[in-house]
């Protein structure tokens, strides 16, 4: 990894100084294209343009692939269109399709027309698919051979073909004359088998494959699970249409994780692109954030109602009100901890439904232990501060009970949601937070009413 701070300063220094301008190109071209992408994100638009023109086109194309969509469009829009076209042609088909897809309609068309016919046709086809499906993620370039070829023939074929366009050579794919996928062949087995062997003998016919309509979450699951370098994509007729490589899958995994993390804090990006949340329209953000907040609103209104039912207690002893945030705050936190552990465990597969009871007991016990510890602390603090031992004990006891309750509810709910086929990640958080508030306050007020108000 590089020292971003220093690098940026160095580049700005060169940009500002006429005399150094000749050095810019050398300075930039030593970086790996992934590093360049990081650097470019830190630069100002005008700085980006100036630097971009100093990078060799090969490297520039590699870098563009690493840039976030908005920057890809910005830069390709700023440089002259011939160069932009040349760079787009150097991108893998799926990347080119994404970039062109993010441009204005007319821009896209202009570029597509200016690109080499074969390339633009292939890209046009990819653009027909949702970029979150296998169709949108796949590249149509791969090695296709027939089962009757020999290892020698395939190697000669690869030597000839792979030269032409930059084909990903993770595997060689075996199809019949009608393009039906028959098997997969690793370069490994190709390199370790005698030249005369027929492909049919060494190909793996028991194939894990993606369907062209498979959605991002399914694709990321398959890659995470089987850990292949790349997977073939077939259509309804088992025709081989393209391959998805693991680096594209990696992005899918990252986006899925983001969605999971968002969901866990009540941001529901169902049909919304995650990027939208930080750069999209305000309306989109509000649309994604309001629903669960509204559920919280309803839940908390119930909590308000609970508190109201104990209005008499509050009138008799207003001081008990001041401990409400303490109780709700801490119960909420330990509950969230439990939810997070369960949701993540279920999503990584470390937890199975069978583990539910064990975890509920475990978490309940942990909650009780921590709750009691904190309860004692609070008792002491309250006692020493309000000089009211009964009040201290009540608050402390409520603390212990509420934290245990919170941990149990936080553990139970994700399992229940999973059981009834609701994604446990989806806003377990806010819903439970309110449930905990309601229960917690009830416990507290009952204790207070019975033991404090009575004895007054």
Among 138, 314, 397, 412, binds its own copies (CB under 8 A): 314
Binding status of residue 142 toward its own copies by CB under 8 A: no
Binding status of residue 372 toward its own copies by CB under 8 A: no
Binding status of residue 321 toward its own copies by CB under 8 A: yes
Among 103, 149, 224, 453, binds its own copies (CB under 8 A): 224
Contact mark string toward its own copies, 259..278, x via CB under 8 A = --xx-xxxx-------x-xx
> How do beta strands 143-145 and 240-245 pair?
unpaired
* Residue pair 111/89 in contact by the 8 Å Cβ criterion: no
Binding status of residue 378 toward its own copies by CB under 8 A: yes
Report the site for its own copies in 81-140 (rule: CB under 8 A).
none
Binding status of residue 326 toward its own copies by CB under 8 A: yes
Identify which of residues 120 and 338 has a Cβ nearer to its own copies in the complex.
338
Binding status of residue 212 toward its own copies by CB under 8 A: no
Among 133, 328, 379, 428, binds its own copies (CB under 8 A): 328
Binding status of residue 431 toward its own copies by CB under 8 A: no
Shortest gap between Cβ of 343 and its own copies (angstroms)? Answer: 8
Binding status of residue 412 toward its own copies by CB under 8 A: no
Shortest gap between Cβ of 50 and its own copies (angstroms)? Answer: 17
Shortest gap between Cβ of 32 and its own copies (angstroms)? Answer: 7
Among 348, 387, 454, 456, binds its own copies (CB under 8 A): 348
Binding status of residue 380 toward its own copies by CB under 8 A: no
Task: Count residues binding its own copies (CB under 8 A).
Answer: 110
Q: Which stretch binds its own copies (CB under 8 A): 116-124, 176-184, 197-205, 340-348?
A: 340-348
Among 54, 344, 372, 451, binds its own copies (CB under 8 A): 344
Spatial distance between the Cα atoms of 33 and 450, rounded to a whole number of angstroms? 69
Identify which of residues 14 and 172 has a Cβ nearer to its own copies in the complex.
172
Binding status of residue 246 toward its own copies by CB under 8 A: yes
Binding status of residue 285 toward its own copies by CB under 8 A: yes
Identify which of residues 68 and 110 has a Cβ nearer to its own copies in the complex.
68
Binding status of residue 441 toward its own copies by CB under 8 A: yes
Among 72, 120, 175, 336, binds its own copies (CB under 8 A): 336
Report the site for its own copies in 45-74 (rule: CB under 8 A).
68
Q: Which of 37, 19, 16, 41 is nearest to 28 (CA)?
A: 37
Binding status of residue 7 toward its own copies by CB under 8 A: no
Binding status of residue 437 toward its own copies by CB under 8 A: yes
Q: Which stretch binds its own copies (CB under 8 A): 79-87, 96-104, 414-422, 428-436?
A: 428-436
Spatial distance between the Cα atoms of 182 and 175, rounded to a whole number of angstroms? 5
Q: Which of 187, 189, 195, 191 is nearest to 152 (CA)?
A: 195
Binding status of residue 34 toward its own copies by CB under 8 A: yes
Beta bridge partners of 244: 231
Among 72, 139, 379, 434, binds its own copies (CB under 8 A): 434
Overall size of the chain counted in residues: 456
Spatial distance between the Cα atoms of 340 and 98, rounded to a whole number of angstroms? 34
Spatial distance between the Cα atoms of 216 and 329, rounded to a whole number of angstroms? 37
């Amino acid at each position: 990894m590089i020292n971003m701070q220093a690098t940026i300063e160095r580049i700005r220094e060169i940009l500002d100084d006429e005399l150094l301008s000749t050095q810019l190109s050398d300075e930039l071209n030593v970086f790996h294209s992934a590093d360049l992408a990081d650097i470019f994100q830190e630069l100002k638009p005008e700085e980006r343009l100036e630097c971009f023109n100093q990078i060799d086109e090969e490297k520039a194309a590699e870098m563009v692939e690493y840039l976030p969509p908005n920057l890809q469009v910005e830069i390709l829009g700023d440089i002259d269109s011939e160069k932009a076209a040349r760079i787009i042609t150097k991108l893998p088909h799926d990347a080119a399709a994404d970039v062109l897809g993010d441009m204005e309609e007319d821009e896209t068309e202009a570029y597509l027309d200016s690109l080499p016919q074969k390339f633009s046709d292939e890209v046009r086809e990819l653009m027909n698919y949702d970029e979150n499906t296998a169709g949108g993620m796949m590249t149509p370039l791969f090695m296709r051979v027939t089962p009757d070829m020999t290892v020698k023939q395939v190697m000669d074929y690869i030597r000839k073909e792979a030269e032409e366009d930059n084909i990903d050579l993770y595997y060689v794919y075996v199809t019949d004359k009608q393009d039906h996928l028959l098997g997969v062949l690793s370069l490994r087995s190709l390199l370790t088998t005698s030249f005369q062997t027929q492909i049919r003998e060494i190909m793996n016919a028991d194939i894990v494959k993606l369907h062209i309509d498979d959605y991002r979450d399914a694709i990321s699951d398959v890659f995470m699970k089987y850990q292949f370098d790349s997977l073939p994509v077939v259509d309804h007729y088992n025709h081989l249409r393209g391959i998805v490589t693991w680096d594209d899958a990696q992005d899918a995994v990252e986006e899925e994780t983001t969605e999971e993390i968002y969901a866990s804090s009540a941001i529901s990006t169902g049909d919304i692109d995650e990027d939208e949340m930080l750069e999209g329209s305000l309306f989109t953000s509000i649309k994604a954030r309001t629903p669960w907040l509204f559920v919280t609103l309803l839940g908390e209104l119930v909590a308000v109602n609970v508190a109201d039912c104990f209005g008499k207690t509050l009138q008799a002893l207003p001081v008990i009100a001041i401990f409400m945030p303490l109780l709700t705050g801490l119960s909420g936190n330990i509950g969230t901890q439990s939810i997070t552990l369960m949701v993540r465990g279920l999503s990584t597969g470390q937890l199975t439904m069978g583990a539910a009871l064990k975890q509920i007991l475990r978490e309940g016990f942990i909650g009780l232990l921590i709750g009691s510890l904190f309860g004692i602390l609070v008792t002491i603090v309250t006692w020493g501060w309000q000089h009211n031992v009964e009040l201290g004990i009540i608050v402390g006891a409520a603390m212990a009970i509420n934290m245990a309750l919170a941990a149990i509810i936080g553990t139970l709910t994700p399992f229940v949601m999973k059981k009834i086929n609701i994604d446990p990640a989806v806003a377990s958080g806010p819903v439970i937070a309110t449930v905990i508030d309601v229960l917690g306050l009830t416990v507290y007020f009952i204790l207070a009413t019975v033991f404090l108000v009575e004895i007054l």
